Chain A
Amino acid sequence: MSGMSLFTPLSWNDTGFILTGVWNTVIISVLAIAVGSMLGVIIGFIRAESGKFLNMVLGSLLDILRSVPLIIQLILFSTFIGAMGHPISPFAAGSIVLSLYTMAFMGEVFRSGFESVPHSMNIAARSLGLTAWQTIYHIRFPIGLRSVFPSWLGVALSVIKDSALVSVIGYMELLRTSEQLISRTQQPLAILVGIGIFYFVISYPLSMFGKRIERKMAA
């Protein structure tokens, strides 16, 4: 046995495996950001419009999602579904939890956006003969949504990074892929640096872009 290694070094054959991880990270992030944003717009609009009581109830429910670590939410949800006798795939469980988590943060972002639209615009639009729905669609949505673009981008970027946690319930995203490669190759540094560069290359330009837009809006 001497001279034979239990570990095989990293090779080009692993490219497909890594790309699957990359793809899975991208797909679950995009899904969670899309679904979370759509739900967040609805939640944000309801919170901006509703009275004190409903606002408080909704706010404290969403606050739970923001006050319990994502990793605990993931484990709880997938165990709960399993215990109820309807086990679902890690991808499905991960997408649901990550989308709801995203929704909780996006709701706050969009609420502040809708609240930033002055009430007088509403009145002006109605007095010009727009219906209530037209006012929402042509006035409040475009103005409210545009003003929060930098914050939206910030939340979206943090979702991409948080998607790494879905690995805990067995979803083969990028970081879990790398972990398996590490245990086979015993080359943690090279692999981890590669993974870090991947996240950085996605996140850094977008965060710079967000900052530039923010500066433009402030000016």
Chain B
Amino acid sequence: MDYQFHWNTVFQNMPEMLQGAFVTLHVSVLSMLIGTGIAVLLAVAKMNNLKFFSQIAIAWVEVARNTPALFQIYMAYFGLGAFGIHLSPYVAVLSALIFINAGYLAETFRGGFLSIPKTQYSASKSLGMSTFQAYRYIILPQMFRRVYHPMTNQFVWSILMSSLGILVGMSELSGETQRLQSLSFRTLEFFIVAAVLYYLITKLVLLSSMLISRKLFRGEI
């Protein structure tokens, strides 16, 4: 082994790496938040009797689940150009992640909805709640409790997949690492540090999700 490791450059560039890590974190958080909102609508639409809405929801879910994430990102970044829509790398990756998260979570949520007895809905109706109130106060809280763990996994997946931003020149952790290593050619050192940072971020997310779940579902799980 005649490779000389030089860690100095990496440590000097640590602030920029951490800034990249921050972008990674907030693109995933944003994609989860918006994705969750859309997923609830898709799950409800999929169970809807109106053919039109359920067809759209089914198409969305199946395309999101059965094509590679990289394809979605290319589609958002290069493909939409054909319609005159030119997205920045950040927006392209964000919208691809939203699209995929919504698709995967919709299936999870549908399972969650189906696991809630119909009587819960009729009971809240008979108490004089409107449909919106029944969903807001009775159905959704129970549903989210059941899908909390799959959602955490999806969040971790989003963090890992946001690394594809490297291929469209986004400056999240991977893209930033790529840029920094191209200035110094310490490729190995930079990517080792990036791998460690990703590992730490995912562990941090899992830990905080566990702490939040304790607070949210006290004494229930």
Mark A residues whose CB is within 8 Å of B: 64, 67-73, 75-76, 79-80, 83-85, 157, 161-162, 164-165, 167-168, 175, 178-179, 182, 187-189, 192-193, 195-196, 199-200, 203-204, 207
**B192 cross-chain contacts in A, Cβ below 8 A:** 76
**A70 cross-chain contacts in B, Cβ below 8 A:** 160
Report the bound CA distance from A149 to B100 in whole Å: 24
Report the bound CA distance from A184 to B68 in whole Å: 23
Main secondary structure on chain B at its contact with chain A? helix
Q: How far is the CB of A24 from chain B (nearest CB, A)?
A: 14
Q: Which of chain B's residues has its CB closest to A179's CB?
A: B74
> Contacts A72-B194, A79-B188, A175-B68 hold; do A67 and B167 have CB atoms under 8 A apart?
no
Q: Which of chain A's residues has its CB closest to B198's CB?
A: A68
Q: Which of chain A's residues has its CB closest to B206's CB?
A: A67
Contact B203 A67 (CB under 8 A): yes
Identify which of B7-15, B48-56, B75-83, B132-140 touches chain A. B75-83
**A67 cross-chain contacts in B, Cβ below 8 A:** 156, 160, 198-199, 202-203
**B174 cross-chain contacts in A, Cβ below 8 A:** 69, 71-72
> Contacts A64-B199, A165-B70, A175-B74 hold; do A200 and B191 have CB atoms under 8 A apart?
no
Contact B191 A162 (CB under 8 A): no
Mark B residues whose CB is within 8 Å of A: 1-3, 62-63, 65-71, 74-75, 78-79, 81-83, 156, 160-161, 163-164, 166-167, 174, 187-188, 191-192, 194-195, 198-199, 202-203
Q: Which of chain A's residues has its CB closest to B163's CB?
A: A69
Report the bound CA distance from A70 to B195 in whole Å: 10
Contact B67 A203 (CB under 8 A): yes
**A83 cross-chain contacts in B, Cβ below 8 A:** 3, 187-188
Listed A/B pairs (19) with beta-carbon separation below 8 Å? A64-B199, A67-B160, A68-B199, A69-B174, A71-B164, A72-B195, A73-B195, A75-B187, A83-B188, A164-B71, A165-B68, A175-B74, A178-B74, A182-B78, A188-B79, A193-B79, A195-B71, A203-B66, A204-B62
Report the bound CA distance from A64 to B195 in whole Å: 9
Other than the known A188-B81, A196-B63, A199-B68, what 10 A-B pairs have Cβ atoms closer than 8 Å? Answer: A67-B156, A71-B163, A71-B167, A79-B191, A83-B188, A162-B68, A179-B74, A189-B82, A192-B75, A203-B67
* Most chain B beta carbons < 10 A, residue from A67, A161, A165, A207: A67
Q: How far is the CB of B6 from chain A (nearest CB, A)?
A: 12
**B188 cross-chain contacts in A, Cβ below 8 A:** 76, 79-80, 83
Contact B161 A69 (CB under 8 A): yes
**A199 cross-chain contacts in B, Cβ below 8 A:** 66-68, 71
Contact B67 A200 (CB under 8 A): yes
Contact B67 A72 (CB under 8 A): no
Contact B3 A192 (CB under 8 A): no
Cβ-closest 6 pairs across A and B: A69-B163, A189-B82, A203-B66, A161-B68, A188-B78, A164-B68
Contact A200 B70 (CB under 8 A): no
Report the bound CA distance from A175 to B164 in whole Å: 13
**B67 cross-chain contacts in A, Cβ below 8 A:** 161, 196, 199-200, 203
**A73 cross-chain contacts in B, Cβ below 8 A:** 195
CB < 8 Å neighbour of B70 from A164, A203, A207: A164
Q: How far is the CB of A79 from chain B (nearest CB, A)?
A: 5
**B83 cross-chain contacts in A, Cβ below 8 A:** 189
Q: Which of chain B's residues has its CB closest to A202's CB?
A: B66
Q: How far is the CB of A80 from chain B (nearest CB, A)?
A: 6
Report the bound CA distance from A75 to B194 in whole Å: 11
